[in-house]
Chains A and B, each alone.
Chain A
């Protein structure tokens, strides 16, 4: 069986309010902390949905759109950069699992 890459995997996830382009992010990340004092920038590899990415200059960026609300980053970040919340049902994104 062929392994799926992350884009293919996330393509199988049903997100809420997918038609809305202007959503309210449920997680706020102070990337200034990631990009100044954080020694590991671990969210860029422990997030199962790759919401945290690192560019060529080693700078951390965050986008909430693919978030599957698993909570990993809330524990993994020990630098106080992640302000985690659940998405708002009306104006947030987040998941609706088909199987769960």
Chain B
């Protein structure tokens, strides 16, 4: 293949696939390269794909009998844990049954593969049906640079050339580092390890246990004992006939507290309430992957340079501000915006930073960077031990007092709360958190 592409996309995860779909629909000639056997084969997420962008890429995807997604979310739960108890905020609404859904649970090996099929359909319908490709089993060793401008990629001895390169390689962003947009060594401070088991049930058992109806699903996040004193949290998402149960745990914190992620996961699973929730299942896969935290201090220096754009987790576009862990939706939107910028660059025949900087602007103007920017304080707060340790303990202690009926005179709730605060935290710490919380959320 001597011919030059308009764009080479490295990595067929959600960002890469969203970019590819957008390029195909706009009759661009591109090459999407994936190192795995198939799109999704190396990808792991929690995972809920939040937001409604999927409906833009695959219109009316919910009408498909066996689409790539597992269940839509109409039931949210946030759970505080101590070693014995859980105290949950639970919200379920038929409002969320309406399409386009605002969140679908996915298993990436299936979802990405399905989405890649849709991209292939779009390629087949484009002007470059025979000249655009999704190529799997190829590892990109290097982004080719000429005068500090990306001009293609090298894999082994082979080179492919293009006017532009979209790097959507994921959080372990070696190529992002090679082109100088990220430091060679990224410290553990703002990185977490996600660890997960997929647990299978008889589908009827799963549906009854979690009160699922048709393809409805539940997402449940956990803070507190879930990570046994390590910063992070837990999650449980319902798939068709499995659940995704896991944790994210700060790498630096694990290093300092000498904790193993797989031990943490077993401690989480052994919690009495979790035990009751997951009993009878069979583990069918164990997986792990690094995720970024949404802390801007860890992000690459820039999301573009001459001939290159960064999309998705390669730019550390991920955030957990307490309401949901968002990353895949950011990947999707950034992939779309990246591709739209490449299309403009092609029209102007200018693939330098002059045009590509418009990607950064588009990202800043979108909900992705708007949310990441406005919830930085919330991100910092969630990584504060008061928040992931003291507050869950305090809430559960209060819950135990409040719901205990033991044939003794009952104290007023205010008194109970006072005692719980004294035992697990201090008014001063809570006030600090309260002020920050009020400001950050």
Residue numbers of A with Cβ under 8 A of B are 1, 3-4, 6, 9-10, 12-13, 16, 40, 42, 45-46, 48-50, 68-72, 74-76, 78, 80, 84-90, 94-100
In the bound complex, do residue A76 and residue B251 qualify as a contact, i.e. CB atoms below 8 Å apart? yes
> Assuming the A-B contacts A76-B251, A97-B109, are A45 and B287 also in contact, with contact meaning beta carbons closer than 8 angstroms in the complex?
no
Interface set, chain B 250-299, CB cutoff 8 A to A: 251-252, 254-255, 258-262, 266, 269-270, 275, 278-281, 283-290
In the bound complex, do residue B42 and residue A69 qualify as a contact, i.e. CB atoms below 8 Å apart? yes
In the bound complex, do residue B186 and residue A75 qualify as a contact, i.e. CB atoms below 8 Å apart? yes
Q: Which residues of A contact B198 (CB under 8 A)?
A: 99
In the bound complex, do residue B280 and residue A100 qualify as a contact, i.e. CB atoms below 8 Å apart? no
Interchain CA distance A6-B40 in the complex, whole Å: 24
In the bound complex, do residue B290 and residue A75 qualify as a contact, i.e. CB atoms below 8 Å apart? yes
Partner of A86, one of B35, B185, B255: B35
Q: Interface code B9-49, partner A: CB below 8 Å = 1, 0 otherwise? A: 00000000000000000000000000111001111110000
Q: Which residues of B contact A78 (CB under 8 A)?
A: 185, 187-188
In the bound complex, do residue A86 and residue B174 qualify as a contact, i.e. CB atoms below 8 Å apart? yes
A4, A50, A68, A70, most chain B CB atoms within 10 A: A70
In the bound complex, do residue B284 and residue A48 qualify as a contact, i.e. CB atoms below 8 Å apart? no
In the bound complex, do residue A100 and residue B260 qualify as a contact, i.e. CB atoms below 8 Å apart? no
Number of interface residues of B (CB under 8 A): 57
A42, A46, A84, A100, most chain B CB atoms within 10 A: A100
Q: Which residues of B contact A16 (CB under 8 A)?
A: 37
Q: Which residues of A contact B280 (CB under 8 A)?
A: 1
In the bound complex, do residue B108 and residue A100 qualify as a contact, i.e. CB atoms below 8 Å apart? yes
Q: Which residues of B contact A12 (CB under 8 A)?
A: 283-286
Chosen A-B contacts, 7 in total, with CB atoms closer than 8 Å, are A9-B197, A45-B254, A72-B288, A75-B186, A75-B251, A89-B139, A99-B109
Residue numbers of B with Cβ under 8 A of A are 35-37, 40-45, 107-112, 137-139, 171-172, 174, 185-188, 191, 193, 195, 197-199, 242, 251-252, 254-255, 258-262, 266, 269-270, 275, 278-281, 283-290
In the bound complex, do residue A96 and residue B281 qualify as a contact, i.e. CB atoms below 8 Å apart? no
Main secondary structure of the interface of B (DSSP, over half): mixed
User: Across chains A and B, which 7 residue pairs bring their CB atoms closest together, nearest first?
Assistant: A100-B109, A100-B108, A9-B286, A48-B288, A71-B290, A71-B172, A42-B255
Q: Which residues of B contact A76 (CB under 8 A)?
A: 188, 251-252, 254-255
In the bound complex, do residue B259 and residue A45 qualify as a contact, i.e. CB atoms below 8 Å apart? yes
Q: Which residues of A contact B44 (CB under 8 A)?
A: 70, 97, 100
In the bound complex, do residue A70 and residue B290 qualify as a contact, i.e. CB atoms below 8 Å apart? yes
Interchain CA distance A74-B173 in the complex, whole Å: 11
Q: Which residues of B contact A68 (CB under 8 A)?
A: 287-288
Q: Which residues of A contact B242 (CB under 8 A)?
A: 99
Q: Which residues of B contact A6 (CB under 8 A)?
A: 262
Partner of A99, one of B252, B258, B287: B287
Q: Which residues of A contact B281 (CB under 8 A)?
A: 1
In the bound complex, do residue B270 and residue A46 qualify as a contact, i.e. CB atoms below 8 Å apart? no
> Assuming the A-B contacts A98-B284, A100-B287, are A85 and B108 also in contact, with contact meaning beta carbons closer than 8 angstroms in the complex?
no
In the bound complex, do residue A86 and residue B285 qualify as a contact, i.e. CB atoms below 8 Å apart? no
> Assuming the A-B contacts A1-B278, A97-B109, are A89 and B286 also in contact, with contact meaning beta carbons closer than 8 angstroms in the complex?
no
Q: Which residues of A contact B171 (CB under 8 A)?
A: 71
* Chain A, Cβ-Cβ closest to B276: A1
A1, A6, A45, A68, most chain B CB atoms within 10 A: A1
Q: Which residues of B contact A48 (CB under 8 A)?
A: 193, 195, 260-262, 288
In the bound complex, do residue A97 and residue B287 qualify as a contact, i.e. CB atoms below 8 Å apart? yes
Interchain CA distance A99-B70 in the complex, whole Å: 11
Interchain CA distance A75-B275 in the complex, whole Å: 32
> Assuming the A-B contacts A1-B278, A12-B286, A94-B42, are A89 and B138 also in contact, with contact meaning beta carbons closer than 8 angstroms in the complex?
yes
Q: Which residues of A contact B254 (CB under 8 A)?
A: 42, 45-46, 76
* Chain A, Cβ-Cβ closest to B190: A75
Q: Which residues of A contact B262 (CB under 8 A)?
A: 6, 9, 48, 50
* Chain A, Cβ-Cβ closest to B268: A3
> Assuming the A-B contacts A9-B262, A75-B187, A88-B139, are A70 and B43 also in contact, with contact meaning beta carbons closer than 8 angstroms in the complex?
no
Interchain CA distance A69-B278 in the complex, whole Å: 27
* Chain B, Cβ-Cβ closest to A9: B286
Q: Which residues of B contact A94 (CB under 8 A)?
A: 42
Q: Which residues of A contact B45 (CB under 8 A)?
A: 100
* Chain A, Cβ-Cβ closest to B44: A100
> Assuming the A-B contacts A1-B275, A42-B255, A46-B193, are A99 and B107 also in contact, with contact meaning beta carbons closer than 8 angstroms in the complex?
yes
Interchain CA distance A94-B287 in the complex, whole Å: 12
Interchain CA distance A49-B193 in the complex, whole Å: 12
In the bound complex, do residue A46 and residue B42 qualify as a contact, i.e. CB atoms below 8 Å apart? no
> Assuming the A-B contacts A1-B281, A46-B260, A48-B262, are A96 and B251 also in contact, with contact meaning beta carbons closer than 8 angstroms in the complex?
no
> Assuming the A-B contacts A45-B260, A46-B193, A74-B172, are A98 and B109 also in contact, with contact meaning beta carbons closer than 8 angstroms in the complex?
yes
Partner of B255, one of A3, A46, A69, A100: A46
